Amino acid sequence: MQHKTWLELNSANLRSNIQMLGSLLSSGVVFCAVVKANAYGHDLETMARILVLEGINTFAVDSVDEAMKLRAHHPNITIFILGFTVPERFKDVIKGGFIQTVTELETIHKLAQAALDLQTKAKINLKVETGTQRQGINSEKIRDFAFEIEKMKDDIEFVGLSSHFANSEDVRNPDFCLTQNQIFFNTAKELDIYKVQQPHFYHISCSASAISQPTTQFNMVRIGLALYGLWSSEELRRQNLSTSRHIDLKPVLSWKTRIAQTKDVRAGATVGYGRAFLADRPLRIAVLPVGYYDGYRRLAMNKGYVLVNGQKCRILGKICMNMMMIDVSQVPQAKTGSVVTLLGRDGMNEIKAEDLASWFETINYEAVTGISSHLPRIIT
């Protein structure tokens, strides 16, 4: 079945990334695949299916809804919910066997009550603040939380202790990352002193720190962006190349569309809304059936390009809701139905997620997660 705009998911590249990233983990360290935000725009269910086949059985998502999608197809995997869940959904969390991240005693009490109602246990992951100032309890409060959780041991299973790095991708200035790691280590060590429930998993490390700071691994690492073949920073990529244990991440996602129409435009004509592009010479242009509704940002106007028959074709004028125009004057083969690459490789040229991010004035994370979920994803 042909589509007018679609994404291609390279399963071989995903498998390669899994193997390379797995090789960085110390013996016994759990590989937790982060598939939140629709697997960073790649498609949660498709990515999870391949990951499970490759032996990954621990996952992290943002919401109970994402967790339920995973559980529907994979009854035996371990699933962490990293984000906030409203109390009305706590019974869904418990029934699904999900591990809910918590940062307040009130939340733990409500989970315990829901578990009591269901005559089972709720699983929790306690998040500790180490310097990012996002989710997390102050590390000084670990004693209070530990003993309160112990009181609820009939209803609460203490599964994980976690934190989150603020700038682990900044390999030129690793001090803050290492300070956060030390705070987390000290918190875990303090918890171990108390005769209370101890968590099964300790995790603070992410893609960037797994690559650049092996001492941060504890017994579980959350791998997200790198899984999909993307780098957290250019500095991290360069540092990786200079090490003996360097890895070659391969992008999983390509984004393609087709030419919907070609036409000749005279010199002096303007293109698109707001007449934002003025043709200074006769041009042959193509209309593409993709726009900002699909996730291709208006910020790329008059500066981004696409690939047609392996050649760079600049974007002309403003990106529309469902369409955009490009210059195909130098591509005589271009015609209605011709494949156009928005992200990925065509011949000798490649458009990277970092290129989109530059044109969109954002980061590669946002560029790929912003691609609309309504577009079909095809495994190659």
DSSP-derived pairing of the beta strands 261-265 and 283-288: antiparallel
Catalytic choice (151, 273, 293, 303):
273
Place of tokens 């967790």: 67
In a domain, 246, yes or no: no
Q: What is the pLDDT of residue 22?
A: 97
In a domain, 138, yes or no: yes
Catalytic choice (36, 127, 256, 318):
36
301 is in an annotated binding site: no
Q: Kindly state the greatest CA–CA separation across the chain.
A: 81
CATH number at residue 270: 2.40.37.10
Q: What is the pLDDT of residue 245?
A: 79
Query: Are 87 and 178 members of one domain?
Result: yes
* CA trace torsion 216, 218, 220, 224 (10° rounding): -10
CATH number at residue 122: 3.20.20.10
Query: Are 166 and 58 members of one domain?
Result: yes
Rounded to whole angstroms, the Cα distance separating 5 from 376 reads 8
Low-confidence ranges of the chain (pLDDT < 50): none
In a domain, 136, yes or no: yes
Question: What range does the domain containing 33 cover?
Answer: 11-241
71 is in an annotated binding site: no
Residues in CB range of 305: below 8 A, 6 or more apart: 312, 313, 314, 315, 326, 351
Helix (H, G, I), strand (E, B) or coil at 341: strand
In a domain, 176, yes or no: yes
Amino acid identity for residue 300 in this structure: A
DSSP state of 88: G
DSSP state of 282: -
Q: What crossing angle do the helices spanning 105-118 and 142-151 adopt, rounded to 10°?
A: 10
Query: Of 241, 270, 298, at which residue does a domain stop?
Result: 241
In a domain, 3, yes or no: no
DSSP-derived pairing of the beta strands 156-162 and 122-129: parallel
Task: Using the Cα atoms of residue 194, residue 198, residue 201 and residue 206 in order, give the sign of their dihedral.
Answer: negative
Q: What is the pLDDT of residue 6?
A: 99
Query: Are 207 and 274 members of one domain?
Result: no
Query: Are 33 and 167 members of one domain?
Result: yes
In a domain, 4, yes or no: no
Query: Are 222 and 289 members of one domain?
Result: no
Helix (H, G, I), strand (E, B) or coil at 173: coil
Query: Are 374 and 260 members of one domain?
Result: yes
Residues in CB range of 72: below 8 A, 6 or more apart: none
Encode burial over 159-182: b for 16+ CB neighbours within 10 A, e otherwise.
bbbbbbbebbbbbeeeebbeebbe
Q: What is the pLDDT of residue 206?
A: 98
Amino acid identity for residue 8 in this structure: E
Tens digit of each residue's pLDDT (9 = 90 or more) over 11-64: 999 999 999 999 999 999 999 999 999 999 999 999 999 999 999 999 999 999
Q: What is the pLDDT of residue 20?
A: 97
Rounded to whole angstroms, the Cα distance separating 316 from 272 reads 8
In a domain, 25, yes or no: yes
- Is 318 among the catalytic positions? no
Query: Are 165 and 196 members of one domain?
Result: yes
In a domain, 338, yes or no: yes
Q: What is the pLDDT of residue 243?
A: 83
Query: Are 139 and 34 members of one domain?
Result: yes
Helix (H, G, I), strand (E, B) or coil at 123: strand
How far does the chain reach from its first CA to its final CA, in angstroms?
14
Tens digit of each residue's pLDDT (9 = 90 or more) over 318-355: 999 999 999 999 999 999 999 999 999 999 999 999 99
Query: Of 241, 270, 300, at which residue does a domain stop?
Result: 241
Query: Of 190, 208, 241, at which residue does a domain stop?
Result: 241
DSSP-derived pairing of the beta strands 349-351 and 339-346: antiparallel
Query: Are 84 and 36 members of one domain?
Result: yes
Query: Are 218 and 258 members of one domain?
Result: no
Helix (H, G, I), strand (E, B) or coil at 80: strand
Q: What is the pLDDT of residue 169?
A: 94
- Is 228 among the catalytic positions? no
Residues paired with 156 in a beta bridge: 122
Please tell me the total count of domains within the chain. 2
Alpha-carbon distances of 189 from 184, 273, 293, rounded to whole Å: 9, 61, 49
Query: Are 74 and 105 members of one domain?
Result: yes
Query: Are 217 and 308 members of one domain?
Result: no
